[in-house]
Structure 1
Amino acid sequence: MTAEVIAEPDAAPHRVRLDVGGMSCAACAARVETKLNRQPGVHASVNFATGVATIDAPGSLDEDALCEVVTKAGYEASPHVEGAGPGRDTDSDTARELMRRLAVAAVLFVPLADLSVMFAVVPSSRFDHWQWVLLALAAPIVTWGAWPFHRVALRNARHRTASMETLISVGVTSATVWSLYTMFGPSGADTSRPDGIWAALTGSDSIYLEVAAGVTVFVLAGRYFEARAKSQAGSALRALAALSAKNAAVLMPDGSELVIPAGELKEQQKFVVRPGQTIAADGLVVDGGAAIDMSAMTGEATPVRADAGDQVIGGTVVLDGRLVVEAAAVGADTRFAGMVRLVEEAQAQKADAQRLADRISAVFVPAVFVIAAATLTGWLLAGAGSDKAFGAALAVLVIACPCALGLATPTAMMVASGRGAQLGIFLKGYRALEAIRAVDTVVFDKTGTLTIGRPTVTEVTVTEGWQRSEVLAVAAAVESASEHAVAVAITTALADAEPPEVTEFVATAGRGVSGLVDGRRVEVGRPAWVTRGGDAPASLSAARRCAEHRGETLVYVSVDDEVCGAIAVADTVKKSAPNAIAALHERGLRTVLLTGDNAATAGAVAEQVGIEEAIADVLPEGKVDVIEQLREQGRVVAMVGDGINDGPALASADLGLAIGRGTDVAIGAADVILVRDNLDVVPQALDLARATMRTIKVNLAWAFGYNVAAIPIAAAGLLNPLIAGAAMAFSSFFVVSNSLRLRKFGTR
C-alpha cells in the first residue's frame, strides 16, 4: 500500500516590509533592491531615507528568506514593525556614535595639522622621534575615527562593489601609508634640507597625515549631520501611536468591567469610556452621552456631542460624561490606524528624492579608481620609477577624496538652519530644499494655521433696555457650568469679572444651556431653540444674518423668556495671515484654503485673508486626496498646517510646513517647521529654502569641478602631497565660505 501524497498549493502572494540596516548611501539602497528583484517573482522597492524595503513576494518566500537575501548582500534586515516609525532609533544611535568619533578626531586634528605643516615647510624644526608624535596624533583618527568608512569599504570589497566609503577609505589609507613612507624613509630624519614653502613644494618629503585626518574629520561631520536629520523621520508615527488608547474597559454580561489591552478588543464587544479617556475603537454609542474632543481626527477646536445611537471614532477623547460603546472597527481597521498608515506611506514616498552628492558619487567613485589604475600603468609603461608611478596614482586617489563634496550640502544646511532659527524657520532635511524650487501652490489649513485656534466673542448685540455687560454677565453665568467651546469663549469674554452664580443648570444637547441666575431663568443657545421658533427682535435678526455671512457662530440670550441679546463667536484670523497670503501672490504662487469646517466659515475666512479658493468639509483622508488631485493637475504643492489631522497631508505634499505650536504629528510629518506662530515666515521660509538650494548647487558645482580639474593634474605627476593638501583645503574653504553667506539672509 502506498501513501498518497497531496501537493500543498502555493501560498498566495503577499507584501512584506523589512527594516534594512547598514545602508550608508543611495547606492546601497539600489544594491539591496537589485538583489531582491533578482529573486523569482519578487518586486521590491528600497527606501534609503526610511531604511524600509517594501516587497511584493510569492508565497514561497517568507520574511526569513527575504531577510537572508538582504544579509547576503552585506546588510542587516529584520521584519518591519508597523507604527514604530521609519528607522526607529537606529539613526539617532548612529548620530551619537558619529558624534563621539567626530569629537575625538577634531580635537586631535588641530595639533596634527599644525605640526605636519611646520615639519614639512621647516625641516630644521624636526626633533628626535618627531615622526612618532605625528603618528600618535593621527593613528586614532585614521583608524578608530575612520572605522565606519573602513568597515563599509571592507564589506563592499567582499561583495565586489564600491561606494563613496570605498573611495574615502582607500584615500585615507593610501595617504597614511604614503606619509609613513615619507616620515620613516631616508628623508624623514633629514633636517639639513632648505626651509621654506618653495622647498617643501618642490621636495619629495611632504607630510600627508593631516590630509588623511582632515578627510576623516570633514566627512564624519557631514555624516553626523545627515544621521541627525534622518533620526527625525519616525517622529510623526511615534507621536500618533502615543495618542492611541492603550487599554479598553470591556463591559461584561454581569455589568462588571474587565480592562484589557486595546489591541485585544474585538468587534461587537462593548466597552466603557469615562471623562479624559481615549476611545479605543470606532463604534456605536449604546448608552450615555458626552462631549468628545475630535481634534485628533478633524483638527477643529469645537467638541462634538455624542449620545446613544451616534457613531464615535477611535483616538478621540471623551471630555465629560460616560459612554458605553459597541466596537465596530478595531485594530488596523480603525480610522485612527488608517491615519498612521497614511503618514507612513507618505513619508516613504517623500524619501524617493536622492541627494545630489549621492547621484554624482554613483559615477564618480568607480571612475576615480579607473583613472588611478590608468595613471599607475601609464607611468610604469612610460619608464618612470615605481615611486613616481605610485606617487601619481596616489595623488589621484587623494585629490579625488570627497572632502568638499561631502561638505557641500551639510555646511549649507547648518548655516541655513542657524539663520532660519533666528527667523523662526527650521529646515528639517534635504528633501525640502529639492522640492521648494518648483512649488507653485500653497495649501493652508484653517484652524490654528490661518486662525488663532481659540474661539472668541466677536460681537454682542442687545435689545433696547439692556446693557451689553449685563447680557454678557448672565450668559457667562450659565455658560460657566458648560465645557463647550462657545461657553469657554463667552466666559473668557467676561474678562476679570466674576459671573453670578447659576443654579438648576441644564444642558440640552445640540441646542443650548439654561439655569437660574439671581432668581431669573436664563437661556443661551441656538436662535431657533431660544425663540421657540418665534420671531426675534429686528436688531438681533440683523446681527444673526451678519454673523452667518461672516461664517461665525451666533447664540441668542433670553431672560425670563425675553430674548434680549445675541452673542457672535468666531475663531479670529491671525493678523499676519493677509500679508503672508499677499506676499505669496506677489511671488506668483496659487493659494488654497483646505478645512474640515463648513463652507460658510471657510469662505468667510478665505475672503478675510485674500485666498480665492476654499475647499470645506474635508476629513483628514480627504485632505490627502485633495493634495493628490492638485499634484495630478501638474501642481507642486506645499501644505501649511498644525493639527494631528494635517499630518497625512503634510507628509503627502511635495513640501510640508508645520506651525511650531502645532501637534507633534504635524511637526514630525513636515519638512519645514515655522517656529514662530506668525504666517509672515511662510514666504520667508520659501525664500530661505531657495537661497539654500542655490548655495548647495554652487557648492556641488565647485566641489565636483575641483575634482574634475585636479585629477588630470595629479595624473600628470604635477602634484605632490603638500600641493594636494593645500588645494583640498582651499576647496573646502570655498565651500564653507560660500555657505556662510546664508548668515546674511533676510538682512537686506
Structure 2
Amino acid sequence: MTKMEKLRLDIEGMTCAGCAGRAERALQAVPGLQEASVNFATGSAQMDLGTARLSEVTAALREVGYSASEEDAVLSIEGMHCASCTARIEDALNAKSGVVSARVNLASQQAKLRFLRGAITPEDLARIVTDLGYPARPVEAQNEDDVGERRDAEIRDARRMAVIAAVLTLPVFVMEMGGHLFPAFRDALHGSRGKETIWLVQFGLTTLVLAWPGRTFFARGLPVLLRGAPDMNSLVALGTAAAWIFSSVALFAPELLPEGTRAVYFEAAAVIVTLILLGRWLEARARGRTGSAIRRLIGLQPRTARVERDREITDVSIETIVEGDILHLRPGERVAVDGEVTDGQSYIDESMITGEPKPVAKTPGDPVVGGTINGQGALTFRATAVGRDTMLSRIIAMVEEAQGAKLPIQAMADRVVRLFVPAVIFTALVTVAVWLLFGPEPALGLALVAGVSVLIIACPCAMGLATPTSIMVGTGRAAELGTLFRKGDALQRLDGARVVAFDKTGTLTKGAPTVVDVTSVNEATRNELLHLAASAEAQSEHPIARAIETAAQEAGLSVVKPSNVQAIGGHGLTAKVAGHSLVIGTARLMAQENIDTALVQDALAKLTGRGETPVLIAVDGEIKGLIAVSDPIKPHAKAAIDALHRDGFKTAVITGDTSATAKTIAAELGIDHVEAEVLPGEKRDAVRRLREAFGPVAFVGDGINDAPALAEADVGVAMGTGTDVAIEAADIVLVSGDPRGVVTAVYVSRQTMRNIRQNLFWAFAYNIALIPVAAGVIYPVTGMLLSPMLAAGAMALSSVFVLSNALRLRRIAAPLEGDS
C-alpha cells in the first residue's frame, strides 16, 4: 500500500469562495492526489500527495490561475569541506518535496533555498542537512557581529585542532623520518629504547591524533561511506585508518604479515591528518577574506543615530527608526538611513556607495544615502527608507544574491564531483590489487603506500572552491567599485557578450535636456510657443516636458491647466489650452495629424544636424514653430565607448529620438550602429536584430521604457540613477550612472572568468596529473613511491592555491581613470 504524504500549501490569487472551489476541483483532478481540500479563509490547501508529484500539483493550480506561495530561506551550514559535500546536500534538499530550488555554496558555507510556503519550513530543511552530518540552522539576517563571530570561531577551532595535531605528530615524525634520514640517529634510538618501544610510542601518539583532532574525518566520513555516498572525509578516514591498522598489526601481531612487510606507517597517518587540518586552517582564513566586501558593506551602517522625538534629540538604535523620523547629522558622522535633507548644507562622501570620489553637495530637498559620510556641515533630514528598504541594504542583498549564484561553467565541475569520490575509492582499490599482483617485494607494504596516497591526494576540495570563491571576491570587489552584479551568472554572460547597446537619454546623455532655441512661424511669437507648450506639457513627467516648463518659468511666463490631454507614446501629445487645439511632438506625429510642416523644414534640418531634438508645435491644425531641446552628452561617455572598442566590442545606440539626432551623437561618440526612432515597445526587437547581426548583446538603459530591452538582452545593465522598474529588469546595476561603469563591469567579468578558468584548470590538472603518480606509475623509472605525507601536503596546498588565486581579485582597480 502506498504511503500517503500529508501536504499543506499556501495559495495565492484566490479572491472568493468560488476561487477556492475552482482550485479544489483542479487539485482533485490531479492523478494520484488524495483528499484535496482548499480553505478560502486560510488561503491554503490540504492534501495527501499519494502517488502524485508536487510539480503536477503546482502546475494544476497555475492552469486555473492560482499559484502556490513561494518563500526564500538561507541555511548556515558547518562542516562542508569539498565539492562532494555540497553536491550531497544539494541533492538531498532538491529531492525533498516542497523545495523548488536549492543552491549550496562551499565558499560562503550557506545554502540558498526557494520552497513552497506551508509545505515545509526552514527548520525542516535545516534538520535534513543536519541529519546528513552537517550541522545547519536557518539564517534570518546577518549583521557584522554575527558574520565576524562565526568566521573567527571557525578559524580559531581550525587553528586549535591543527596545533594539537602538530604537537602530537612532531615526535612521531622525528622518530620515524629522522631515522630514515640519519641511520645513526635510528640506531641510537632503537639501541637505547628498543624498536618495539619506539613503535609503541608512535602508536599511542598517532592514536591520540586520530581520536582527537582527527576524529572529524571518521565521525563525518564513515557514516556517509556506509550509506553509499562517500565524501572527502571518507577518503581521509579510509587512508589514515588503513595506515594505522596495518601499522598496528605490524606492531602487535607481526606474525600475520609476510616477512619483509613488517613496517609501520604511524607517521604517515599522523602527518596526513596534521597537514590536512593545517590546510583547513589556512583555507578558513582565506575563505574568511573572500567575504570581506560584504562585511565592509555591512560595517558602513552605524549602530545608532540622533533622532528628534517630542522636541528632544536622543541617540537611538537604528532598528527603532521609522519612516518620517527627523534625524540630526553632525559633521563627520555616517548617515544612518536613507532620507531627504530638511535643513542645513554640507558635502557628503558617497564613494563607498557609488564609487565616485568627489563629495556631493547636499541642501534641503536633496537625498542622502545610509552609510555615506557627512562632511563639515550639520544636516537635518527626514527618514524615507529604513531597514531592508535602504539603498545599502538593497546593495548588500544584491551582492549576496550574486555571490550565491552558480555559473554555467560550474555545471561541468558539479557533474564530475558527483562521481569523483566513488571513482577515487575504486582507483585506490585497483591500485592496491595491481601492486599485490605485480609489484616487487614487499608488495603488501608498497600496495598500502600507493593506495593510501591515491585516497589522500585526490580530494575534490579545490574543485568545489574554484568557482564560488572567485564569484564572491569578484562581485564583492565590483560592488566596492559601484558596479552591482544582481545575478551572479551575469559574470559569465557579460564575458561572452559581443555588442554593447546603449539607450540614449539618461544613459549616454545627462537625461536633463534644456531648451536651446525656439523657432516661430505663422505670426507666432517665442513666448507664445513656450506658454502653450509648457501648459500642454504640465502634466507630463517626460524630461523634455520639464525642460520646456523650466524655459517658460525662466521667461516669466505663466502656465494654465490643459484639458483633453492625450499622450501618444514615443511621438508627443495632443491637448487643449486656452481654447486652442495643440499637437506637440515629432514630425511623424505632425504627418499623422495631416499638418503641413514645410515652413519649419529648414530650421528642422539645421538643428537635427547639430544633434538637437526638435519639438514641433501646431495650433488649431497649423504649424506654429518648433522648440530645439538638447540633452548634453555625459562627460565620460566618449571614454567608455573608446574603451569598449579597445576590448573588442561593437557598440550601438537604441533611441526613440530622430535618426539625424541619433546619428550625430553616434558620430560624436564613435558608436558603430544606430537604431533610431524606435518606439518603447520596439526596443526589444532592436536588441534581437543586434543579436542576429553581431552576437550576444549587453543593453544599457535607465528608464521604464528600457525594461523590455533590458530583459531581452543577454545581459541587462541599468543605471542606478534610473527607475526602479529598469533596475529590477537588469542583471547589473551601475550605482553612479556613469557610462564608465560598463567598462568596469566588463573588466570585472573578464578578470573573474579568467580567474575561475585558472582555478578549474588547476583543480582538474592537479588530480589528473597526481593520481597516477600516487598510484605508482613512475616507480618503474625512479624506484620511488609518492609518500602519503607528501600527498596530504599537496592536497592541502591545492585548496590554498585556489583560494589565494581568487583573493587576487580583491586588487582589481577600475580600468578607466576616476571610475572608482
For the superposition of Structure 1 and Structure 2, which TM-score range results when normalised by the shorter chain? 0.5 to 0.7
**Which one of the candidate residues 445, 450, 458 is aligned to 2:503?**
445
In structure 1, what residue type is equivalent to 2:636? S
Tell me what 1:661 maps to. Answer: 721
The whole-number CA distance in structure 1 between the counterparts of 2:421 and 2:685 is 42
**Pairing 1:206–2:206 present:** no
**Pairing 1:357–2:424 present:** no
Task: Using the TM superposition, give the Cα deviation of residue 630 of structure 1 relative to its aligned residue in structure 2, in angstroms.
Answer: 4.4
Give deviations 1:215-238, integer Å, cap 9, x for gaps. Answer: 699599989999x99xxxxxxxxx
**Which one of the candidate residues 395, 416, 427 is aligned to 2:474?**
416
The whole-number CA distance in structure 1 between the counterparts of 2:746 and 2:512 is 27
Tell me what 2:463 maps to. Answer: 405
Instruction: Indicate if the aligned counterparts of 2:210 and 2:273 stay in contact, CA closer than 8 A.
Output: no
**Pairing 1:594–2:649 present:** no
Tell me what 1:739 maps to. Answer: 806
**Pairing 1:116–2:165 present:** yes
Instruction: Indicate if the aligned counterparts of 1:183 and 1:205 stay in contact, CA closer than 8 A.
Output: no
The whole-number CA distance in structure 2 between the counterparts of 1:718 and 1:589 is 52
Instruction: Indicate if the aligned counterparts of 2:534 and 2:545 stay in contact, CA closer than 8 A.
Output: no
**Which one of the candidate residues 70, 75, 79 is aligned to 2:95?**
75
Decide which moves more: 413-422 or 501-510. Answer: 501-510
In structure 2, what residue type is equivalent to 1:612? D
1:72 and 1:367, CA in 2 relative to 1: closer, same or farther beyond 3 A? Answer: closer
1:384 and 1:351, CA in 2 relative to 1: closer, same or farther beyond 3 A? Answer: same
Secondary structure in structure 2 of the residue aligned to 1:208: helix
Note the 1:523-534 alignment, pairs <5 A. Answer: none
Task: Using the TM superposition, give the Cα deviation of residue 401 of structure 1 relative to its aligned residue in structure 2, in angstroms.
Answer: 0.7
The whole-number CA distance in structure 2 between the counterparts of 1:366 and 1:619 is 58
Instruction: Indicate if the aligned counterparts of 2:595 and 2:623 stay in contact, CA closer than 8 A.
Output: no
The whole-number CA distance in structure 2 between the counterparts of 1:526 and 1:598 is 11
**Which one of the candidate residues 557, 575, 578 is aligned to 2:638?**
578
In structure 2, what residue type is equivalent to 1:415? V
Secondary structure in structure 2 of the residue aligned to 1:76: coil
Tell me what 1:174 maps to. Answer: 238
Task: Using the TM superposition, give the Cα deviation of residue 87 of structure 1 relative to its aligned residue in structure 2, in angstroms.
Answer: 6.6
1:681 and 1:502, CA in 2 relative to 1: closer, same or farther beyond 3 A? Answer: closer
1:492 and 1:172, CA in 2 relative to 1: closer, same or farther beyond 3 A? Answer: farther
Secondary structure in structure 1 of the residue aligned to 2:510: strand
1:702 and 1:475, CA in 2 relative to 1: closer, same or farther beyond 3 A? Answer: same
Task: Using the TM superposition, give the Cα deviation of residue 400 of structure 1 relative to its aligned residue in structure 2, in angstroms.
Answer: 0.9
Instruction: Indicate if the aligned counterparts of 1:108 and 1:141 stay in contact, CA closer than 8 A.
Output: no
Please report the TM-score for the alignment, with normalisation by the length of structure 1.
0.55
Secondary structure in structure 1 of the residue aligned to 2:638: helix
**Which one of the candidate residues 406, 409, 428 is aligned to 1:372?**
428
Task: Using the TM superposition, give the Cα deviation of residue 425 of structure 1 relative to its aligned residue in structure 2, in angstroms.
Answer: 2.8
Task: Using the TM superposition, give the Cα deviation of residue 620 of structure 1 relative to its aligned residue in structure 2, in angstroms.
Answer: 6.8
The whole-number CA distance in structure 1 between the counterparts of 2:661 and 2:445 is 80
Secondary structure in structure 2 of the residue aligned to 1:611: coil
1:619 and 1:201, CA in 2 relative to 1: closer, same or farther beyond 3 A? Answer: farther
Secondary structure in structure 2 of the residue aligned to 1:378: helix
The whole-number CA distance in structure 2 between the counterparts of 1:380 and 1:535 is 99
Tell me what 2:304 maps to. Answer: none
Give deviations 1:589-614, integer Å, cap 9, x for gaps. Answer: 22222345565554454344332322
The whole-number CA distance in structure 2 between the counterparts of 1:216 and 1:143 is 19
The whole-number CA distance in structure 1 between the counterparts of 2:453 and 2:495 is 38
Give deviations 1:157-201, integer Å, cap 9, x for gaps. Answer: 3xxxx7xxx44352354367579879999999xxxxxxxxxx999
1:376 and 1:74, CA in 2 relative to 1: closer, same or farther beyond 3 A? Answer: farther
Secondary structure in structure 1 of the residue aligned to 2:271: coil
The whole-number CA distance in structure 1 between the counterparts of 2:247 and 2:153 is 24
Tell me what 1:699 maps to. Answer: 759
**Which one of the candidate residues 502, 511, 517 is aligned to 2:574?**
511
Decide which moves more: 572-581 or 716-725. Answer: 716-725
The whole-number CA distance in structure 1 between the counterparts of 2:251 and 2:730 is 58
Secondary structure in structure 2 of the residue aligned to 1:377: helix
Task: Using the TM superposition, give the Cα deviation of residue 548 of structure 1 relative to its aligned residue in structure 2, in angstroms.
Answer: 4.9
Task: Using the TM superposition, give the Cα deviation of residue 679 of structure 1 relative to its aligned residue in structure 2, in angstroms.
Answer: 1.1
1:617 and 1:63, CA in 2 relative to 1: closer, same or farther beyond 3 A? Answer: farther
Task: Using the TM superposition, give the Cα deviation of residue 471 of structure 1 relative to its aligned residue in structure 2, in angstroms.
Answer: 7.7
Secondary structure in structure 2 of the residue aligned to 1:442: strand
Give deviations 1:49-101, integer Å, cap 9, x for gaps. Answer: xxxxxxxxxxxx97559799x999982355979xxxx9746999999859999
Give deviations 1:525-563, integer Å, cap 9, x for gaps. Answer: 569999x9999998x8755544455361425699xxx99
The whole-number CA distance in structure 1 between the counterparts of 2:172 and 2:137 is 40
Give deviations 1:116-145, integer Å, cap 9, x for gaps. Answer: 22332255999999977985666578758x
Secondary structure in structure 2 of the residue aligned to 1:206: helix
**Pairing 1:682–2:752 present:** no
Decide which moves more: 691-700 or 444-453. Answer: 444-453
For structure 2, which runs of at least 5 residues remain unmatched after alignment? Answer: 1-50, 59-89, 102-111, 127-135, 175-200, 253-263, 295-405, 567-572, 777-783, 816-820
1:380 and 1:103, CA in 2 relative to 1: closer, same or farther beyond 3 A? Answer: farther
Instruction: Indicate if the aligned counterparts of 2:168 and 2:205 stay in contact, CA closer than 8 A.
Output: no
Tell me what 2:394 maps to. Answer: none
Give deviations 1:14-33, integer Å, cap 9, x for gaps. Answer: xxxxxxxxxxxxxxxxxxxx
The whole-number CA distance in structure 2 between the counterparts of 1:65 and 1:535 is 61
The whole-number CA distance in structure 2 between the counterparts of 1:527 and 1:652 is 27
The whole-number CA distance in structure 1 between the counterparts of 2:785 and 2:768 is 15
The whole-number CA distance in structure 2 between the counterparts of 1:404 and 1:154 is 25
Task: Using the TM superposition, give the Cα deviation of residue 370 of structure 1 relative to its aligned residue in structure 2, in angstroms.
Answer: 2.9
Tell me what 1:724 maps to. Answer: 791
Task: Using the TM superposition, give the Cα deviation of residue 687 of structure 1 relative to its aligned residue in structure 2, in angstroms.
Answer: 3.0
Please report the TM-score for the alignment, with normalisation by the length of structure 2.
0.50
1:438 and 1:508, CA in 2 relative to 1: closer, same or farther beyond 3 A? Answer: closer
In structure 1, what residue type is equivalent to 2:794? A
The whole-number CA distance in structure 2 between the counterparts of 1:713 and 1:467 is 91
Instruction: Indicate if the aligned counterparts of 1:109 and 1:214 stay in contact, CA closer than 8 A.
Output: no
Task: Using the TM superposition, give the Cα deviation of residue 108 of structure 1 relative to its aligned residue in structure 2, in angstroms.
Answer: 1.6
- Alignment coverage as a number of residue pairs: 530
Give deviations 1:298-347, integer Å, cap 9, x for gaps. Answer: xxxxxxxxxxxxxxxxxxxxxxxxxxxxxxxxxxxxxxxxxxxxxxxxxx
Q: Larger relative CO (CA 8 A, sep 6+): 1 or 2?
A: 1
Identity %: 35
The whole-number CA distance in structure 2 between the counterparts of 1:545 and 1:488 is 24
Instruction: Indicate if the aligned counterparts of 1:173 and 1:212 stay in contact, CA closer than 8 A.
Output: no
Task: Using the TM superposition, give the Cα deviation of residue 208 of structure 1 relative to its aligned residue in structure 2, in angstroms.
Answer: 0.4
1:75 and 1:588, CA in 2 relative to 1: closer, same or farther beyond 3 A? Answer: same
In structure 1, what residue type is equivalent to 2:163? D
Instruction: Indicate if the aligned counterparts of 2:706 and 2:726 stay in contact, CA closer than 8 A.
Output: yes
Give deviations 1:255-298, integer Å, cap 9, x for gaps. Answer: xxxxxxxxxxxxxxxxxxxxxxxxxxxxxxxxxxxxxxxxxxxx
The whole-number CA distance in structure 2 between the counterparts of 1:503 and 1:701 is 70
Note the 1:4-403 alignment, pairs <5 A. Answer: 63=53, 75-77=95-97, 88=114, 105-122=154-171, 157=228, 166-174=230-238, 177=241, 205-206=270-271, 208=273, 211=276, 354-358=410-414, 360-361=416-417, 364-365=420-421, 367-381=423-437, 382=439, 389-390=447-448, 392-403=450-461
1:690 and 1:131, CA in 2 relative to 1: closer, same or farther beyond 3 A? Answer: same
Decide which moves more: 356-365 or 688-697. Answer: 356-365
Tell me what 1:338 maps to. Answer: none
1:489 and 1:451, CA in 2 relative to 1: closer, same or farther beyond 3 A? Answer: same
The whole-number CA distance in structure 2 between the counterparts of 1:454 and 1:185 is 84
Instruction: Indicate if the aligned counterparts of 2:517 and 2:627 stay in contact, CA closer than 8 A.
Output: yes
Task: Using the TM superposition, give the Cα deviation of residue 655 of structure 1 relative to its aligned residue in structure 2, in angstroms.
Answer: 3.7
**Pairing 1:482–2:519 present:** no
Tell me what 1:554 maps to. Answer: 615
Task: Using the TM superposition, give the Cα deviation of residue 576 of structure 1 relative to its aligned residue in structure 2, in angstroms.
Answer: 2.5
Tell me what 2:322 maps to. Answer: none
1:392 and 1:614, CA in 2 relative to 1: closer, same or farther beyond 3 A? Answer: same
Secondary structure in structure 2 of the residue aligned to 1:676: coil
